[in-house]
Structure 1
């Protein structure tokens, strides 16, 4: 996905990529509020996938091939071989198994939209929570790295479609619910996403993914005190959470808690050897000193 910044976030930090597509939000102390009108397009019908056209679904317009490490020659060979077997198979059981294998091969090559497509084919035959969860996770991964907003909306809708099958059978599947929430936040119905995140926190107050996403939403709406609350909870649950520690420091810096922010920024430097992250931390420290 785009590497653009969201508000105070410096470009060097590796963010949850979906943040680029988040609309402006106002999150009050109940995590509710009015959302400003964004430019998020309505979900479109996903592109059709022909099973026999030889097209690499992960490398088309708006796809994510350039965001990840290029596929190795071995991965490309496996993809070609498995796809050829899939296209030639006539037995339904064999095609379902090969569709699952194609999903695995595309996922290994970081072509997550294509992985989702083939996992979905397998899930529609096999059914079951795990099969749909695998398809949803692949589409969600593609969503978070989408190159355009339209593509993110499209892939988010596909992820939701898969997760709906998961949640229909298991409403307590909190990872699926959290991911569904974030696709809604990037849609024309962002409040639905906030409500789902609150449901996750109500079920599991220590859920790291939900705490992180709520904190990011609070930062984006410039509600740094609320963000600090979320990130403080997150790092109490997981003291080694790098992004949570960084954003807690950012939130505290923005609320005037300079000394604690500086201590946390210095802690972040000790948690990662990433030079881009270190440079961003130094930039914040320079502003606080």
Structure 2
């Protein structure tokens, strides 16, 4: 599904993008709506329990690559955090550490310090920002232990943000998607996604995420039904048209997929993405 992954990325469906990125073959999960059909692949993490990496190990490895002068600055800020008895001072030190590590392109370490700052600040905005740092880097992480640490930390941050913003369905969808794709609790995640989708059928991210899980688990008919329902209400939604096309193509109905992709293509303004869709159409004709 490499071309599908690129196209979903271009459509900027953030949650769906992440799910396709982790759409590797993993053990099946039985007895819920998105258990794999025969021969279907489950998203990475479904039903798996991987030991999370230890941040101290990640930090030690990252520090081994830091120039001496920069390491002195980092150590000084770390000491400021330890000695600081004023929360604002600790927040400022964590934010500086985030900026330094981000500049060094050590993104997981940078995200950790953004998270520590956000926990102290305790605002929905800062917690969501930090959670998104972990979520954004998940798709680039190959080490299963690091990926689990990132997923667990993202969930913790999302839980804190949801506690502050209990009506924010976008945060709930992100949490549900992480649980399904990256932890050993896929059914819990599916439950969160379905609760949002059933309560608010017009919440597009929920519908797209569930349809994507249906596709990656081989349940193409479920994805088709869900996207057709969305298109009844939003007939010119390109992301729904695209996922519906993927589901039909996955079933072997290339003619229907091409028809839907052409409809999707007409709604796309980005020339680069339009070219990708054209290439996808040619590849399945």
Q: TM-score, normalised by structure 1?
A: 0.69
* TM-fit CA distance, 1:226: 1.3
Which of the residues 85, 91, 94 maps onto 2:89? 94
SS of the aligned residue for 2:167 comes to coil
With 176-185 and 164-173 compared, the bigger mean Cα shift is at 164-173
Determine if the alignment matches structure 1 residue 119 to structure 2 residue 127: no
Match of 1:73 in 2: none
* TM-fit CA distance, 1:155: 1.0
* TM-fit CA distance, 1:27: 8.7
Measure the CA separation in 1 of the matches of 2:235 and 2:79: 49
Which of the residues 236, 239, 243 maps onto 2:236? 239
Q: Deviations over 1:130-176 (max 9, x none)?
A: 33222222222222332233332221111111112222333322222
The structure that is helix-richer by fraction is 2
With 209-218 and 89-98 compared, the bigger mean Cα shift is at 89-98
With 37-46 and 120-129 compared, the bigger mean Cα shift is at 37-46
Determine if the alignment matches structure 1 residue 154 to structure 2 residue 149: yes
Determine if the alignment matches structure 1 residue 281 to structure 2 residue 278: no
Q: TM-score, normalised by structure 2?
A: 0.70
* 1:1-289 alignment, distance < 5 Å: 5=1, 10=4, 12-15=6-9, 16-19=17-20, 20=22, 23=26, 31=33, 33=35, 40-48=48-56, 55=62, 86-87=77-78, 89=80, 91=84, 92=86, 93-100=88-95, 102-103=97-98, 112-185=107-180, 186-234=182-230, 236-237=233-234, 239-242=236-239, 244-254=240-250, 260-270=256-266, 271=268, 272=270, 273-274=272-273, 275-284=275-284, 286=285
SS of the aligned residue for 1:222 comes to coil
Gaps of 5+ in 1: 61-78
With 32-41 and 122-131 compared, the bigger mean Cα shift is at 32-41
Higher RCO, Cα 8 Å, sep 6+: 2
Is this contact kept in 2: 1:208–1:237, CA < 8 A? no
Give RMSD over aligned pairs. 4.0
